Amino acid sequence: FYDWVLRQDILEELIRPRISGLDHIQRIENSFGFGMMLGLGPNMDCFGHPGAGGSYGFANAKTGESFAFVMNRFEANLYPSEERLALCNERIS
pLDDT per residue rounded down to tens, the chain (93 residues): 557 777 888 888 888 999 999 988 778 888 999 888 898 766 777 888 887 777 888 888 888 888 888 878 887 766 667 777 777 677 665
Q: Is 56 helix (H, G, I), strand (E, B) or coil?
A: strand
What ranges do the domains of the chain cover?
Answer: 2-92
- The strand ranges marked E within the chain are 19-23, 28-32, 37-38, 46-50, 56-60, 66-69
* Amino acid code (one letter) for 21: G
Type of residue at 65: E
What's this model's pTM, rounded to 2 decimal places?
0.68
| CA atoms of 44 and 13, how far apart (whole Å) | 15
